[in-house]
């Protein structure tokens, strides 16, 4: 998990440095600015997930797409499982991995809600990883903790440093 957190920090630094570099500004001829970006993956003819972003930026042939105001919807046999929504993120299309930042919310079909500031979706092992503080809300019960690992519909969850309380 520590390696994941370090990768998250390095990716954040990369964004800050590249945004401050005038040579590599979004108006660079090798950059591609997209509005209403959308990508959907399927497996054996069924939707796995769909990613929709209000805006996206891809620099040249880079294997990184920067997302703004996006929603990642997970499916099982073409039926809705959950949504992951965030203000910004990094998408790696060659592997399908995604880092989500700021105001990250996951809402499942069973109305379980996850709130956090950053989250990583590992497309290979089909797991969500939230290294920081989290709130997990179901009905009138809230679990607080940090370092969450889960599947995308939040029914198999591991949280370190957890505490619970009844919502008033």
131 burial class (0-12, 13-18, 19+ CB within 10 angstroms)?
Answer: buried
- Percentage of the chain beyond pLDDT 70 is 75
The architecture that CATH gives domain 2-34+41-166 is Sandwich (2.60)
Q: Which residues of 69-85 are buried (b: 16+ CB within 10 A; e: fewer)?
A: ebebbbbeeeeebbbbe
**DSSP H helices in the chain:** 2-20
Strands 46-59 and 31-43: antiparallel
DSSP state, 63? S
Q: What's the pLDDT band for 140 if we cut at 50, 70, 90?
A: confident
CA distance linking residue 38 with residue 56, whole number of Å? 9
Long-range contacts of 40-43 (CB under 8 A, 24+ apart): 41/96
- Give mean pLDDT, residues 128-144: 90
Domain boundaries, the chain: 2-34+41-166
Rounded to the nearest 10 degrees, how much is the dihedral formed by the CA atoms of 21, 22, 28, 32?
Answer: 40
pLDDT in tens, 58-110: 876 668 889 999 999 999 888 899 999 999 999 988 888 999 999 999 999 98
- Give mean pLDDT, residues 47-52: 90
């Amino acid at each position: 998990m520590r390696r994941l957190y370090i990768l998250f920090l390095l990716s954040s630094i990369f964004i800050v440095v590249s945004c401050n570099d005038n040579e590599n500004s979004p108006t660079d001829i090798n950059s591609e600015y997209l509005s209403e970006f959308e990508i959907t993956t399927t497996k054996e003819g069924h939707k796995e997930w769909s990613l929709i972003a209000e805006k996206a930026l891809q620099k040249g042939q880079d294997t990184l797409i920067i997302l703004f105001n996006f929603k990642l919807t997970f499916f099982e046999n073409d039926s809705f499982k959950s949504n992951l929504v965030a203000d910004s993120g990094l998408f790696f299309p060659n592997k399908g991995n995604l880092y989500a930042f700021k105001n990250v919310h996951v809402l499942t079909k069973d109305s379980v809600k996850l709130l956090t500031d950053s989250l990583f979706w590992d497309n290979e092992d089909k797991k969500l990883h939230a290294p920081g503080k989290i709130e997990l809300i179901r009905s009138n019960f809230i679990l607080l903790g940090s370092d969450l690992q889960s599947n995308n519909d939040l029914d198999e969850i591991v949280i370190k440093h957890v505490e619970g309380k009844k919502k008033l």
